[in-house]
Amino acid sequence: MANVIKRFIAGAVCPRCSEMDKLVVYRQDERDYRECVSCDFAEEMLFTQPSADLETRANRDLDRQAIKFVDASVKK
Ligand SMILES: [Zn+2]
């Protein structure tokens, strides 16, 4: 717990007790957490990108390959 800097999130409302400006964020063990100083609310903050984004990009690449294939066929 050494050197854990907790910063208040201005204007943030606690989802549990609905108090404003009571939420703090801090980083510990390579993970980001937020917690409420008014109640016992605490959770890990997850920033993982939705996998749907990557799938969309992959599908777009597949479409481009399909188009190239069609063009090549036309030239023959
Ligand atoms: Zn709270």
- Give the pLDDT score at 26: 95
In a domain, 1, yes or no: no
**Environment class of 48 (CB within 10 Å of its CB; exposed 0-12, middle 13-18, buried 19+):** exposed
**Which tokens in the block code for residue 54?**
């990557």
In a domain, 22, yes or no: yes
Q: Could you tell me the distance, in angstroms and rounded to a whole number, from the CA of residue 40 to the centre of ligand 1? A: 6
In a domain, 2, yes or no: no
Q: Is the model's pTM score more than 0.75?
A: no
- For the domain that residue 71 is a member of, what is the CATH number? 2.20.25
Domain interval for residue 65: 7-75
Which H or E run contains 25?
strand 23-28
| Interval 6-65: pLDDT, tens | 999 999 999 999 999 999 999 999 999 999 999 999 999 886 555 555 556 666 666 665
Q: Which residue has the higher pLDDT, 37 or 72?
A: 37
In a domain, 14, yes or no: yes
CA atoms within 13 A on the CB side of 21: 2
Q: Could you tell me the distance, in angstroms and rounded to a whole number, from the CA of residue 44 to the centre of ligand 1? A: 15
- Give the pLDDT score at 33: 94
Q: Could you tell me the distance, in angstroms and rounded to a whole number, from the CA of residue 25 to the centre of ligand 1? A: 13
Q: Could you tell me the distance, in angstroms and rounded to a whole number, from the CA of residue 10 to the centre of ligand 1? A: 14
- Give the pLDDT score at 49: 52
**Which tokens in the block code for residue 20?**
């404003």
DSSP state of 14: -
How many separate domains does the chain show? Answer: 1
